[in-house]
């Protein structure tokens, strides 16, 4: 039976700027079981990275705030967790990989020392030889010969640097890995290799993963469930088959995929949709997609739809609710 690792309920996050309050997340609900991989998909600015930063409690100090909701990690309340306990959780249990490997690596230290630093931090008292043995293991695990541990980041290619970042992120066996566009900066063939490696490692180490991406090919290759995010809300959520097959979809998902999604499709990038996301400083009374939606009805501009649940496949749209149907017939 699957075991719940992460549960996010009704999460609201706001950024306060000098001019305005930005409503970045507006009631996010999602969950992740041990060993599962969830794809977070959406346009830039939809709130994907804010979800990851909220899980790590690394929202920018003074400006980013969780204003409502719950984040439970293995039954522990992250929202109210003290910083000291949180520091323990970061790295020990939850690691993050960013898009740009160079920004995550220190150019002045050898890669071996950077992996060793993380291992030592999380295993105080571990003998030097044991640390070195673990460094060698981690290098080999990501497909880089251990003898290259004395080299510096600039001596590696982009793909290898990202492998080293992954080795660092995995060196304390986290139970949850947050990967924010981990292959975007790499060329296509290297992307495929790094993804395959991440998928294999995840299986071997039973690490759960949240994969933030624009790339529908990445989602199809590695994710078991998918959340489609629009303007700080999850508009569609389900198992990979729910999202890539079947006949029920949120109009935004259909727009993103350029057509009804198809897991065998060769279309890999998100399709641009006409129009812009709504201004995040101005809360809307209705559906946030209404101004761009080809199916918008009167009710869509005045009321926010509830998610309709089809056996775990959730769609937040009046097209699927009795209320929307009744209103449409009455129009």
| Interaction site with ligand SF4 (CB under 6 A) | 250-251, 287, 289-290, 293, 295-297, 300, 305, 317-319
Q: How far is the CB of 67 from ligand SF4 (least distance, A)?
A: 24
Shortest distance in whole angstroms from residue 289 CB to ligand SF4: 4
What is the distance of C-alpha 212 from the center of its chain? 3
From the CB of 322, what's the least distance to ligand SF4, in Å?
Answer: 13
3-state secondary structure the chain: CCCEEEEEEEEEEEEECCCCEEEEEEEEEEEEECCCEEEEECCCCCCHHHHHHHHHCCCCCCCEEEEEEEEEECCEECCCCCHHHHHHHHHHCEEEECCCHHHHCCCCCCHHHHHHHHHHHHCCCCCHHHHHHHHHHHHHHCCCCHHHHHCCHHHCCHHHHHHHHHHHHHCCCCCEEEEECCCCCCCHHHHHHHHHHHHHHHHHHCCEEEEEECEHHHHHHHCCEEEEEECCEEEEEEEHHHHHCCCCCCHHHHHHHCCCCCCCCCCCECCCCCCCCCCCCCCCCCCCCHHHCCCCCHHHHCCCCCEEEECCEEEECHHHCHHHHHHHHHC
Question: Nearer Cβ to ligand SF4, position 39 or 305?
Answer: 305
User: Taking the complex as a whole, how short is the minimal distance between the CB of residue 137 and ligand SF4, in angstroms?
Assistant: 49
* Residue closer to ligand SF4 (CB basis): 161 or 250: 250
CB of residue 40 to ligand SF4, shortest distance in Å: 19
The angle at the Cα of 104, spanning 103 to 108, to the nearest 5 degrees, equals 85
Closest approach of ligand SF4 to the CB of residue 179, in Å = 29
Give least dist CB 42 to ligand SF4, A. 14
Shorter beta-carbon distance to ligand SF4: residue 116 or 300: 300
Taking the complex as a whole, the smallest distance from the CB of residue 244 to ligand SF4 amounts, in Å, to 19
299 burial (CB, 10 Å; 0-12 / 13-18 / 19+) is buried
Place of tokens 């769609």: 315
């Amino acid at each position: 039976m699957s075991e719940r690792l992460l549960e996010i309920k009704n999460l609201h996050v706001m950024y306060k700027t000098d001019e305005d309050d930005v409503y970045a997340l507006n009631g996010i609900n999602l969950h992740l079981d041990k060993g599962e991989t969830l794809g977070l998909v959406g346009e830039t600015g939809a709130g994907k990275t804010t979800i990851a930063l909220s899980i790590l409690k690394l929202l920018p100090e003074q400006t980013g705030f969780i204003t409502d909701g719950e984040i439970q990690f293995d039954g522990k309340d992250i929202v109210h967790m003290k910083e000291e306990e949180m520091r323990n959780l970061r790295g020990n249990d939850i690691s993050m990989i960013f898009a740009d490997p160079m920004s995550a690596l220190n150019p002045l230290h050898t890669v071996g020392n950077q992996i060793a630093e993380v291992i030592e931090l999380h295993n105080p008292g571990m003998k030097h030889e044991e640390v070195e043995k673990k460094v060698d293991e981690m290098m080999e695990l990501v497909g880089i010969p251990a003898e290259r541990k004395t080299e510096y980041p600039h001596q590696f290619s982009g793909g290898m640097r990202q492998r080293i970042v992954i080795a660092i992120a995995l060196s304390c066996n986290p139970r949850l890995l947050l990967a924010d566009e981990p292959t975007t900066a790499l060329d296509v063939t290297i992307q495929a290799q790094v993804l395959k490696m991440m998928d294999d490692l995840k299986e071997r180490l039973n690490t759960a993963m949240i994969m933030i991406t624009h790339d529908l090919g990445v989602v199809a290759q590695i994710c078991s469930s998918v959340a489609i995010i629009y303007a700080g809300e999850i508009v569609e959520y389900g198992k990979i088959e729910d999202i890539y097959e079947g006949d029920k979809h949120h109009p935004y998902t259909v727009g993103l995929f350029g057509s009804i999604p198809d897991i065998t499709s060769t279309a890999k990038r998100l399709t641009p949709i006409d129009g812009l996301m709504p201004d995040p400083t101005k809360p809307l009374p209705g559906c946030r997609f209404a101004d761009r939606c080809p199916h918008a009805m009167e009710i869509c501009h005045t009321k926010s739809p509830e998610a309709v649940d089809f056996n775990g496949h959730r769609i937040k749209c009046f097209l699927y609710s009795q209320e929307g149907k009744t209103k449409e017939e009455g129009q």
